[in-house]
Structure 1
Amino acid sequence: MSMAQTDRVSPPRRRTRRAMLVSPALVLAVVLSGCGMTSDDEGGSGNGGGLTKITIGLSEEPRSLASWNAYSNDGHPVLRNIEEALLNRDPQTNELVGELATEWKQQADPKTWRFTLRQGVTFHDGSPFNAEAAAYGLNWVLSKDNAFPMRTFLGPELTATVVDEYTLDVTTEAPDPILPTRLYFVTIPSMKALKEKPNEWETHPVGTGPYKFAAWNRGRDIQLTANDQWWGRKDTAAAHGSNDKVKDVTYLFRPETEVRASMVKTGEAQFVRWLTESQCGEAPKCEKGVGVETVILRLDTPNPALKDPRVREAIALSFDKSQIINNIMGGGELAAQIVGPSALGFNKSLQPYPYDQAKAKQLIAEAKADGVPVDAPLTVAAREGFILRADESIQLVAQALTDIGLTNVKSEMRETAKFEQAWTAGYQAITPDRGLIGLQQHGNELMDYSSSIEGYYACKGATSAYCDPELEKLTAAANQLAGGERDTALQNIAKYVYDRYITVPVGQPNFYFGLATGIDWKPRLDGFLLVKEMKVS
């Protein structure tokens, strides 16, 4: 399936703010009457034994429920509960642990990794999980011809092949020391479903996970139900969770933070993601996490103004990053890289770009004097329903750019599909007149800076707006290394990128989650929302 085909997935129906802001008492009455509960049930037990149904409030509806979207913030809260990968992370230690694989080892040929697969696992459609199914799913999701966005996290091209029924080899074109880490991000769909019902892949996911897809009522909700045949029921320790308590999960999509906050306060939802600190403090329970997300500005370097390093440096100096992270987004740490301390290649010697409006004005004046078109149209844009209070942040940035002498700047919130189409176009497709300055949240869940370099700074990177042959050489050399040598090489690349103002890191925000009193859950560093990890009472 081509990227053009995936872009035709019907967009979610939007609700107006007026439709959302109903009386809390009315919301509670509707929820309780619809579920047949009393208010003491806080989400539905049906048997007096604790929560068996939970509703999760998210800021945006998934673009797609195909496996390729299991990496994204709009996709993984749903898909990682339906589908599983060869590997996952321990929710406490963050170390790689087996999921559909039990062992993995790099072979004598460093281009090949061998995975021993978990036995006794079946897909939700009853088909067996084995090496044939794993190879088919991985090759499909990571296919160069299909070109799904999941390939952003792929290093060298790879091919998965069957060794025997429960042994899988994955071979890359060049040695890839972090291949297991990359594959932890790739969920495996049912081979049977892909072959027999390929047109349903985007809308009816079939996996091996603890929850089965039940329904997607576009613009309203997504429903899952517990998988009674899940392998993890027999080995909850290896599965790092359980699905025997929560039987049904419903996802509701509300872009406004105040509406999500009201949902958990009234009992309409038992879990809501991404509130402000004050809203979270008013929830029955509040959990705060730091995560691996960095808020950044990415600059269209083919643009005649943005290709000038002085203009890019001026943009980096033009606005107060603390005001965005601490005042608008509710707190966090300012950043000098698009990855945080959890990533290999994090360079702690780099400091966040300072706020220096006087120097920024001077740089713009110098560029203008040399004929750089500082009046070229520029658009500061962000994606709706994603970054907390992004509309306020892009207005602040746009005004700052105007103040330093860039005279044709506007801000614009964009619907997800439109924003992602521009964001993932690739360097070669960016026209000089586009002038996009995108505010985005970048997560390095692989916790290796190379994946961010390959995505954002490579000539063929899926989310790159920059091309530099020298940087390509540095990246290729670093990717062959491991351990301390790899860390040093990646830190050197971080300094190289920092000095060229290709992106403007803003900061790593705190994330706030509102919970019902009957749920015990702690945020994962990678941001995954796995219902199997929620303990209910």
Structure 2
Amino acid sequence: MNRFIQTNLGWRRSIAGLIIFLTMALVACGSSATATPVTTTTTGSTPVSQPQATSVPSSAVSARDSIVLVIAEQPAVVDALGTGGGISQAVHHDNMSDPLTWQSGDDQRIVPTSATTGWEQVGPSKWRFFLREGVKFHNGEPWNAQAALPSLAILASSENDNPSYGYTGGFTAEAFDEFTLDINCTTPCPIFPNTAFFANFTAPDFLASTTEEDRARQNVSFGPYKLVEWDFGVSITQEAYEDYVPAGDHFEFQTPVIRDVKWFFRGEPQVMAAMVKTGEADIAWDVGVDAIDTLDANQIKSGGSAEVFTLDVLSMLHPETSKLKVRQAMAHAINCQEMIDALYGGNSVCRGNIIWPGVIGATESNTAPYSFDPGLSRQLLEEANYDNDTVLRLFSRGTRIPKQVEVLEAVQGYLADVGVNVDVNIVDVQGFLDRRNCRAGQAVADLLSDRGSTKDAADATLEEMQAALAAANERGSTSCATAELIENEPSNETLDFGRQITYYLNCSKAQSPFCDPSPGGIQEQLAPALAASGDERKQLLEGLADFVHEQALWLTPFDLPVIYAVDPKLNWQPRFDRRVRINSMTFSP
């Protein structure tokens, strides 16, 4: 075993039979998302246990009306329009907010929510949504097309850290009538409903009268649960929203039968699992593979995450990581398979990309993991004239995935072995977001500000993007500090590489580590790929995914399985991703 794992990480061998157990517990699914809301299945990044039922009877009852949930960290905000990502978004995005559309947990079809009753495409760049009548926000404000517009104006912008733009891209919204909403995409958007499942809403009067800072600690949406109290750093209390309007008989949009909800935040997976084991909590995730030997078999459920773990490599601004051969050298320096065998009992898959076969754009070749070849790494670094005195900065948020520290230390050790020194920094969520959101899009925003322009970075011309990149490269940074390596868990619930190219290959996106505004370059290739459908879309996205693989833009991607510790009396099944809807749960006697 590699000394970086054995010595630095103190790895302990997984329990006997772990791989056999997980193989039996996990069920794979397969096919891809489509451009219209039809029933689909998915080939996720990890095998998934699928729920069988698609609806909950209106007479559903539960033996208990309260639940305790435990996750690793509290959300950065609970604002429906605020940042999400990872498990912590379950608190606000999954349970206090209902989005424009939803990807059904049983078969991944796109379904209406309490916000909508349906939709239709009325042009290449235009979708019409029919809103559900009788819905009220948690503060009593009515839901209608006009009420949706202020939230949509925020969600359509690339210059804030909202949860939706990276999926939908830019758009404008207008009220067609009281309960009909038109979405006009800035570019053709053939799969818009498949991307709108983080388009959440906040009551318009509350939004207008409350600062962003104050909204961070509040949630005034119309999801099945509403906020009661946030004991910062300790717990969040919610209660069932008594005026919640169900969306037909879909099992994830029912009136809650569990009334009282308490979330606790514990950074150690073993502590989380122990809380379920002793009855202090009813469900905890992600408890990781090491928790399996501490729990009874009926206390374990497993599912997918629709995510990979990776490190964004800053391919701009920095004199070394902007070199292709340096990035390739780092990719070949890491023994991914050894790492996941040691740390995750082999229950993951190494990738050479941030997507996997089954996602539109992915192929076996452009997702194949990079070979472990430290000799080649040293050769590439020599050819690149790498400055061995360089210290690359790696920033990560705490307890984002099980064994996160061990993974980062292993990567640090592998890279040091070939002569690449890395300084690992694990910081709080806000400190992490500040670093992550200071990349390509910030460079464009800086230039526009310097020129006195008030337009959004997404509206910048190629000339402005070129000038922004040149200015930032000359300074060696944007107007704020970033890092050469940023921990990331990019998700792909849409099963379409368009989500990633919008977010991570886009000069206008604040957290994009890559920007190519050259004539005919990647920036100009994004719009045609996103506008295409069918075989043309597949071909164009595969070309972009080939580019990502060849350029080694992400370091050591591997799939993220999710292990849940659960009370055996809790009636619930994991999704293909890690979204959790408490109103789909009941307790048996």
Q: With structure 1 as the length reference, what TM-score do the two structures score?
A: 0.85
Matched to 2:225, the amino acid is: Y
The equivalent position to 2:217 in structure 1, one of 193, 203, 211, is: 203
Equivalent in the alignment of 1:451: 499
The equivalent position to 1:262 in structure 2, one of 270, 274, 284, is: 274
Contact kept in structure 2, 1:61 and 1:74, CA below 8 Å: no
- Take 2:586 and 2:103, find their aligned partners in 1: how far apart are those partners? 18
Matched to 2:540, the amino acid is: A
Contact kept in structure 2, 1:328 and 1:389, CA below 8 Å: yes
- Take 2:87 and 2:348, find their aligned partners in 1: how far apart are those partners? 22
The 3 A distance-change label for structure 1 pair 435 and 404 is farther
Q: How many Å apart are 1:381 and its aligned residue? A: 3.2
CA-based RMSD: 2.1
The equivalent position to 2:546 in structure 1, one of 495, 513, 525, is: 495
The equivalent position to 1:347 in structure 2, one of 354, 360, 363, is: 363
Equivalent in the alignment of 2:348: 332
Q: How does 1:65-464 map to 2 (within 5 A)?
A: 65-69=78-82, 71-73=84-86, 75-79=88-92, 80-99=94-113, 100-107=115-122, 109-143=123-157, 147-150=160-163, 152-153=165-166, 155-198=168-211, 200-232=214-246, 237-238=249-250, 240-284=252-296, 285-301=299-315, 302-330=317-345, 331-350=347-366, 351-368=368-385, 372-406=386-420, 408-427=421-440, 429=443, 432=476, 436-464=484-512
- Take 1:424 and 1:220, find their aligned partners in 2: how far apart are those partners? 27
Matched to 2:340, the amino acid is: I
Name the SS of the counterpart of 1:69 in structure 2.
coil
Contact kept in structure 2, 1:260 and 1:275, CA below 8 Å: yes
The 3 A distance-change label for structure 1 pair 244 and 158 is closer
- Take 1:258 and 1:495, find their aligned partners in 2: how far apart are those partners? 39
- CA offsets 1:20-57 (integer angstroms, 9 cap, x no match): xxxxxxxxxxxxxxxxxxxxxxxxxxxx9622111110
Name the SS of the counterpart of 1:67 in structure 2.
coil
The 3 A distance-change label for structure 1 pair 519 and 315 is same
Residue identity over aligned pairs, in percent, reads: 26
Q: How does 1:453-492 map to 2 (within 5 A)?
A: 453-469=501-517, 470-492=521-543
- CA offsets 1:335-389 (integer angstroms, 9 cap, x no match): 1221233432222233111111111111112223xxx323212123321021221
Contact kept in structure 2, 1:71 and 1:186, CA below 8 Å: no
- Take 1:139 and 1:231, find their aligned partners in 2: how far apart are those partners? 24
Name the SS of the counterpart of 1:378 in structure 2.
strand
- Take 1:376 and 1:361, find their aligned partners in 2: how far apart are those partners? 15
The 3 A distance-change label for structure 1 pair 299 and 70 is closer
Matched to 1:334, the amino acid is: C
Contact kept in structure 1, 2:313 and 2:554, CA below 8 Å: yes
Matched to 2:276, the amino acid is: V
Contact kept in structure 2, 1:380 and 1:398, CA below 8 Å: no
Matched to 2:378, the amino acid is: K
Larger RCO (CA within 8 A; separation ≥ 6):
2
Matched to 1:536, the amino acid is: F
Matched to 1:270, the amino acid is: D
Q: How many Å apart are 1:178 and its aligned residue? A: 2.0
Matched to 1:432, the amino acid is: G
Equivalent in the alignment of 2:583: 532
- Take 1:231 and 1:535, find their aligned partners in 2: how far apart are those partners? 18
Q: How many Å apart are 1:534 and its aligned residue? A: 2.0
Q: Which stretch of the first structure deviates more once superposed, 410-419 or 302-311? A: 410-419
Q: With structure 2 as the length reference, what TM-score do the two structures score?
A: 0.78
The 3 A distance-change label for structure 1 pair 409 and 136 is closer
Q: Which stretch of the first structure deviates more once superposed, 58-67 or 436-445? A: 436-445
Aligned residues: 482
Contact kept in structure 2, 1:114 and 1:168, CA below 8 Å: yes
Contact kept in structure 1, 2:245 and 2:255, CA below 8 Å: no
Q: How many Å apart are 1:442 and its aligned residue? A: 1.3
Contact kept in structure 2, 1:294 and 1:505, CA below 8 Å: no
Contact kept in structure 2, 1:364 and 1:374, CA below 8 Å: no
The answer for unaligned runs of 5 or more in structure 1 is: 1-47
Contact kept in structure 2, 1:112 and 1:169, CA below 8 Å: yes
- Take 1:206 and 1:496, find their aligned partners in 2: how far apart are those partners? 42
